[in-house]
Amino acid sequence: MPTSVTRIFAAQKQAEDLAQVASEILPLDEVSVAVSETKPDDPLWRVDIYAGPNITPANLEREVRAALGQKIAGLDVQSEVIEDADWVAASLAGLDPVPAGRFLVHGAHDAGRVPKNAHGIQVEAALAFGTGHHGTTKGCLMAFDGLLKQTRPRKILDLGTGTGVLAIAAAKALGHGVLGSDIDRTSVTIARANAALNRVADRVRIVHANGLGHPYIRGNSPYDLVFANILAGPLVRLAPGIARSVRLGGHVILSGLLTHQERQVRAAYRTQGLLPVKKRVLDNWVTLTLRRGPV
């Protein structure tokens, strides 16, 4: 299925800020936003804004320019249609496997390089957020690896699952069912495909949901562990709902926030009785492990 994409090129800090703003204010439904390096050691980073087949590249760019206004004045902005198959082939080509504790995220070209003592997670799609090559996904995997040394959570929710990496990791490490959700239908499709690719489709259920309102999400709470690898704005807005979804003594692993956003996110969760027990910073992205205590 063809997908429209608008790309904005900017320095790292500006690109990260633009991705945050775009994810919060774009008026379009089912828009995915990702930020990444253009190539190693290049000062320019890239913000990719994807929309489904019902919007043309020209209309997508028009919406992006209207939403971001002066924030992107003078920046290189490009829009085009991409075919899923072509994008998938290009997205992971040449990328090295990503180790994160007991996990190794890789493409098909590195399937033979997974150590026997590691949980290999094969990812072949990048139209959804989270291939493991980004500091947020790797940070969450490392946080989860650390948490598994202390506890074995039974009920797990991966909120904003993207490619499904975290849900797949949990299903592989623990051997039981995991629930994932995403607001973006493309991400839901990709996460389900990746679960099947990794032979955990019978243990990973992915639902299309906006926030925590889906009946299946509500019906399975409270959870022992909630992953929320999204962005700082949604993390703050969802703090009360996430707190209600976690059992007393349960954990939340948060990422998608930059170092300068950490204080705001911590405060939002502290007021809900979720206190930090571990922090990791990778490439200016923060991952927090929180534990729910009494408010």
Residue of 159, 127, 295, 286 whose CA lies nearest to 234? 159
Q: What's the Cα-to-Cα distance from 97 to each of 88, 114, 184, rounded to whole Å?
A: 16, 9, 26
Parallel, antiparallel, or unpaired: how do β-strands 156-159 and 178-182 relate? Answer: parallel
Instruction: With H, G, I as helix, E, B as strand and everything else as coil, classify residue 261.
Output: helix
- In the chain, what are the helix, strand and coil shares in percent, each to the nearest 5? 40, 30, 30
Handedness of CA 160, 225, 255, 106 (dihedral sign): negative
Parallel, antiparallel, or unpaired: how do β-strands 98-100 and 76-83 relate? Answer: unpaired
CA distance 114 to 135: 20
Q: What's the Cα-to-Cα distance from 281 to each of 12, 148, 165, 239, rounded to whole Å?
A: 16, 19, 19, 21
Annotated binding site: 137, 160, 182, 229
CA distance 62 to 247: 44
CA distance 246 to 14: 34
Annotated binding site for S-adenosyl-L-methionine: 137, 160, 182, 229
Q: What's the Cα-to-Cα distance from 101 to each of 114, 120, 130, 222, 237, rounded to whole Å?
A: 13, 11, 17, 27, 30
**CA torsion angle 155 156 159 165 (round to 10):** -150
CA distance 251 to 225: 5
